Chains A and B, each alone.
Chain A
Amino acid sequence: DGGITQSPKYLFRKEGQNVTLSCEQNLNHDAMYWYRQDPGQGLRLIYYSQIVNDFQKGDIAEGYSVSREKKESFPLTVTSAQKNPTAFYLCASRQQGTDTEAFFGQGTRLTVV
């Protein structure tokens, strides 16, 4: 089945540690996105990539980094510079062009203690 896989589903880390969230898609989509979800704030765009080896900052990129070395993979690293990293993180992909919907993974809930 085609889809997007995020792993792990739950992740716990100590404050000050970097952590990488995985996102893999086999939909052959060009564009991939990372969103952060907090209660009452909807989905906020962290980074997006429209093509391999290229990506752009979203609205809340500070404290995060990404890479896009392969079309099917778009990992997100939450660095120690992110002041409040505890949140639900969603990865999405979309075929290039604006008239298509995005497909979402099941999310990773990150808790920093």
Chain B
Amino acid sequence: AQSVTQLDSQVPVFEEAPVELRCNYSSSVSVYLFWYVQYPNQGLQLLLKYLSGSTLVESINGFEAEFNKSQTSFHLRKPSVHISDTAEYFCAVSDIYNQGGKLIFGQGTELSVKP
């Protein structure tokens, strides 16, 4: 069965520093990959997604993620974080062969940006 591992449960970082949130998935079959962000007591919002094509995908607020098929990874990066980036981030995977259309999530990484 498909699974997603987010290697860091908490990432504290100072404002304007770079950050990387790591995500690995288990399956060797072709997948679609997503990063979601969750602010306290709210639902999840899509940050970016990889479907096909260029392995580097970007969001409108400066985040980017790179799909690495050989390492089965989809790490999220931002070169300079802001206080407002403080939130929980979830990596998710969907099998392109449509295992019932399930979207499988990792355990989440809590990003804490300090002034």
Cβ A107 vs Cβ B43 within 8 A: yes
Main secondary structure of the interface of A (DSSP, over half): strand
What per-residue 1/0 map shows which CB atoms of B80-108 lie under 8 Å from chain A?
00000000001010111110111111111
Whether, in the assembled complex, B74 has its beta carbon less than 8 Å from a beta carbon of chain A, the answer is no
Cβ A40 vs Cβ B43 within 8 A: no
Q: Which residues of A contact B96 (CB under 8 A)?
A: 98-99
Instruction: Give the residue among B42, B44, B95, B106 with the most A Cβ atoms within 10 A.
Output: B44
Whether, in the assembled complex, B9 has its beta carbon less than 8 Å from a beta carbon of chain A, the answer is yes
- A7–B54 Cα gap in the complex (Å)? 39
Whether, in the assembled complex, A43 has its beta carbon less than 8 Å from a beta carbon of chain B, the answer is yes
User: Taking the nearest CB of chain A, how far is it from the CB of B39, in angstroms?
Assistant: 10
A-B contact pairs, 19 of them (CB 8 A): A6-B43, A33-B103, A35-B105, A41-B107, A43-B90, A45-B103, A48-B101, A56-B100, A90-B44, A94-B101, A96-B101, A98-B97, A99-B96, A101-B34, A104-B44, A104-B45, A106-B43, A107-B41, A107-B43
Nearest 6 A/B pairs, CB to CB = A104-B43, A42-B107, A43-B105, A104-B44, A101-B46, A98-B94
Q: Which residues on A are within 8 Å of B, measured CB to CB?
A: 4, 6, 31, 33, 35, 40-45, 48, 50, 56, 58, 88, 90, 92, 94, 96-99, 101-107, 109
